[in-house]
Amino acid sequence: KDMLNVGLAIDQTTIDITPITIATPIQYIQFQREHGDSNITLPATVSWTRDTRNSAIYTTSGGVQKAGVEVAIPGVDLSFYRLTYSNQQYFSLTKDLILMLYGELGYADGLEGQTLPFYKNFYAGGVGSVRGFETASLGPVDPLYPDTRLGGTRKVVLNAELLMPFPGFDKALRLGPFVDAGNVFNETGYTISEGGLRWSVGLTAAWISPLGPLKFSYGQPIGIEKNDKIQKFQFQMGTTF
């Protein structure tokens, strides 16, 4: 089935930076200096979803595609756009062996000569992204405070899982190996050649428990770089992917 959603909103964002700016990323301070403490945007959104899965809980074929556009209409304080696309597909290799492939892309920028507001950046890392790395820990970092993740205006995430039922649990528990890749980037200052994609391999388990869907993973990053934040065991509730 296909679904189309259209929306228009009014958004007022207020930024409060502590007077002690020594621990505040310079990008945040520069944004406040250029645009002030409070800004209004008029975000218009259009999203499309196509769901062809044979089952939303125990999927063995089909998939879900999503595409979205968000545009902050020019003429008010801030103007920008964000484009997103994701595609998740399942393939039955045998009766019990399922291959899942997932890809996600994001692209965003300012309009009318503006830069993208820092709070509209993309983030990557963690369950549902690149496992084995801490949630939202990938991509550009503040040069003065490497522990501060800034996000990026471009996003790439790729996942592959080989799923099979666990003996004795029928369809309630599936597990198997996975390979993840991804990162977020900026147009300048952090390119693919400099930062590169982050990779990880590991094992994942999806359990339809009495409490709801649970997802566990143990990921081993490949080629760890300086400032990477590692989190090998990860857990998520409410989804099987």
Under the banding of pLDDT at 50, 70 and 90, the label for residue 241 is very low
Convert the pLDDT of each residue in 193-231 to its tens digit: 446 899 999 999 988 888 888 889 999 999 888 888 999
What pLDDT, on a 0 to 100 scale, did the predictor assign at position 58? 84
Find, among 162, 159, 171, the residue nearest to 97 by Cα. Answer: 162
Convert the pLDDT of each residue in 57-72 to its tens digit: 888 999 999 999 999 9
Has residue 21 got a pLDDT over 70?
no
CA distance 69 to 7: 10
Has residue 190 got a pLDDT over 70?
no
Segment 3-16 mean pLDDT: 92
Pair 236, 127: CB distance under 8 Å: yes
Domain ranges of the chain: 2-237
pTM of structure: 0.89
CA distance 42 to 56: 34
CA distance 162 to 204: 9
| The CATH number of the domain covering residues in 2-237 | 2.40.160.50
Find, among 45, 224, 227, the residue nearest to 150 by Cα. Answer: 227
